Amino acid sequence: MAGLTARHGDGPGPQVRWPDEPVIGDAVVGQRGSDSAHPPGAPALGAAEVARHAVRLVVVDPAGERPRLERFAALPQLLRAGDVVVVNDAATLPGSLPGRTAGGQVFELRLAGPVEAGRLLGVLFGEGDHRTRTEHRARPPRLTAGDQVTVAGMTATVASAAGRRVELVVHGSGDALWHALYAAGAPVQYAHRSEPLALWSVQTAYAGRPWAAEMPSAGRPLTWEVLLGLGRAGIAIASLTHAAGLSSTGDDDLDRALPWPERYEIPRRTIAAIAAARARGGRVIAIGTTVVRALEAAAHDGHDGQGQGGTIRAGSGVATLRLDGRYRPRVVAGLVSGLHVPGESHFELLAAFAPPDQLRRAVALAAAHGLSSHELGDACLILPPQLPRE
């Protein structure tokens, strides 16, 4: 499978590296694109923030039934006993960090992945804030390897730089770095919001380690009311940790190559829960595309190294998988996602799970009922009745 590689192992955490160059002209799509301009001719979805208890759900059956509208809270009744729901438990980082060059030029560094051993991997933005659309921001200062900068109040050395993509190494102990990140950083902000978002607003109800550059937002409406309801309905719940990266950089060439390689970790109990579900004829339902990306990347790196049979094993790896309508999922049968309109990159990846005409009908239904798109909006559930092919 072209465009899909993953390294796997139980040793020290794998290193995430930038792709050599953004691939342009290939069927490469961004996965959590939300900052992109509204495509012309697409039905309009709302932009209001929806409280997590009040999220609505468009249910899409790829086999041809008309999409229908439900409350997200009805999820336990929409799935079947024996299914397994897999969530991404990565907490959202305060990934927007203030910085300054030795010459006094200010910039914003947006982390693109987890922080390890003092390494900060991210994208530079110029002067300005989230109220300016990312594509209209001033150009950031040009950094080159060896430069000294200040980021989140700490001194750092530029280890590598490729245009706006940089890797900084911070001087100081791990505890001091974590303190600085949380003291100076804020979660990545969105242009559609006037009020700044606090970390409280961008965490799922089961967030653990801070690995995500932006919220794995498909899980936002999963309250404990819903999660415990799933358990009572005989639906298993399992977790993995996937370092969700940036949804947008404001640069078309960079955005076309999103998502970049992302680190993931799948615990043994999750592998066991998936195997048990499959053995009893249950379906694997992914909460968000980051879960799809982790599970499908792990399946590709199955025990025989050929990805045959969709075998997945526990451990950590780096996912470079990109999803679009040509991709055939090996593990994941159904998907909960935010709402996206035709033309958005995210819409294309949902086509791996349902035909585009079904997705267009779903968007029309959502628009007709005033549902909201984006990270803090409503959701859709693509739920095929049959098992994924072996």
Partner 1 sequence: MKIQGQGALVTGASRGLGRALAELLAVKGARVALVAREAGPLAEAVAEIRRHGGDAHAIIGDVASKQAIHRIAGQAQGAIGEIGIAIHNASTLGPTPLRLVLDTECEDLEAVLATNLVGPFRLTKVLAGAMAIRGAGVIVHISSDAAVEPYPRWGAYGASKAAQDHLSAVLAAELDGTGVRVLAVDPGEMDTAMHAAAIPDADRDALQRPAAVAARIVQMIEDERRAPSGHRLVAPRWELR
Sign of dihedral through CA atoms 250, 256, 258, 260? negative
- Whether the link from the prior residue into 342 is cis, omega within 30° of 0, is no
- Nearest by Cα to 34 from 237, 258, 354, 242: 258
**Taking CB under 8 A as the rule, which mask of x and - marks residues 73-112 in contact with partner 1?**
--------------x-x-x-xx------------------
- Is position 199 an interface residue for partner 1 (rule: CB under 8 A)? yes
- Is position 210 an interface residue for partner 1 (rule: CB under 8 A)? yes
Q: Which of these ranges, 76-84, 170-178, 292-300, 356-364, lies near partner 1 under the rule CB under 8 A?
A: 170-178
Sign of dihedral through CA atoms 75, 79, 84, 87? negative
Of residues 43 and 174, the one with the C-beta less far from partner 1? 174
- Is position 179 an interface residue for partner 1 (rule: CB under 8 A)? yes
- Nearest by Cα to 116 from 168, 75, 74, 67: 168
CA 157 to chain CA centroid, nearest Å = 28
Among 46, 101, 127, 206, binds partner 1 (CB under 8 A): 206
- Is position 318 an interface residue for partner 1 (rule: CB under 8 A)? no
Total residues contacting partner 1 by CB under 8 A comes to: 32
- Is position 63 an interface residue for partner 1 (rule: CB under 8 A)? no
Please report, as residue ranges, which positions from 256 to 315 form the binding site for partner 1 (by CB under 8 A).
267, 269
Q: Which of these ranges, 147-155, 192-200, 355-363, 379-387, lies near partner 1 under the rule CB under 8 A?
A: 192-200
Among 174, 281, 309, 385, binds partner 1 (CB under 8 A): 174
CB of 364 to partner 1, least distance (A): 35
Among 75, 124, 207, 351, binds partner 1 (CB under 8 A): 207
CB of 111 to partner 1, least distance (A): 12
- Is position 172 an interface residue for partner 1 (rule: CB under 8 A)? no
Among 178, 303, 326, 369, binds partner 1 (CB under 8 A): 178
CB of 239 to partner 1, least distance (A): 5
User: Site residues (CB under 8 A) for partner 1?
Assistant: 87, 89, 91, 93-94, 115, 174-175, 178-179, 181-183, 198-200, 203-210, 224, 227-228, 231, 237, 239, 267, 269
